[in-house]
Amino acid sequence: MSGVKTFSNETSERYALALFELSSENSENEEIEKNISFILKICNNNPEFVNFLKNPTIRLEIQSKIFDEIVKIMKLNKTLSNFLQFLIKKRRIYFLDRILEKFIKLTSEKKGEIKAVLISSKKLSQEEKNNINQEISKAIKSKLDFTYKTDVSLISGVKIQVGSLLIDTSVSNKLKRIKQLIIEN
């Protein structure tokens, strides 16, 4: 399934690449990346907003006016603003969250960064986060951009996901493996 490109993935990649190329031509990658990160936070924290984006019954004019207001309030970059209006006009605003995530991925790749997720059983200090980042970056010989999360259900230990590689040293994972061994025997 991973090799199969769906219409939504292919569409999202093409639009993200178009925005990336536009922002690169105008030397606006950094500013647009910050704007996009903020929009993604809004999407992740507001299901009503996502429902508004994905609702095909809302007229284009209404979506356009609302996005104009959002652009003014958030003081978004002009290139990004025009891009959002283009997505509305082409009825591709439905894919906004995927397009923006793919844009972030493109900018990270261009910077030589690899996205990674670290889930810890306890809240880590900034020094601990920095040490983990440095050690793993050194081990894989590439700069990592970590997202940190806390999950007390791990009991103890950490989970680290770098691309498709998952390292799980949590006690909860060890308990699951022991339980599976007991069931199998």
> Where along the chain do its domains lie?
7-109, 114-184
pLDDT at residue 106 in the model? 87
pLDDT at residue 2 in the model? 47
124-135 CB burial, b ≥16 within 10 A, e <16? beeeeeeebbee
Per-residue CA distances from 83 to 7, 20, 64 (Å): 20, 11, 12
Those residues with Cβ within 8 angstroms of residue 173's Cβ, 6 or more apart along the chain or in another chain: 154, 157, 159
**What token pair was written down for 40?**
């993604």
pTM: 0.63
- Tell which residue, 111, 118, 164, 107, has the closest CA to residue 142: 111
Pick the CATH number of 7-109 from 3.40.50.1380, 1.10.520.20, 1.20.120.1760, 3.40.50.2300: 1.10.520.20
pLDDT at residue 174 in the model? 84
pLDDT at residue 1 in the model? 43
In angstroms, how far is CA 46 from the centroid of its own chain?
15
pLDDT at residue 49 in the model? 84
Q: Which residue has 């006016």 as its token pair?
A: 65
Other Cβ atoms less than 10 A from the Cβ of 60: the count is: 13
3-30 CB burial, b ≥16 within 10 A, e <16? eeeeeeeebbbebbeebbebbeeeebbe
Mean pLDDT for back-to-back runs of 10 residues, the chain (185 residues): 63 90 88 90 85 85 89 89 91 87 85 81 88 83 81 85 80 86 84
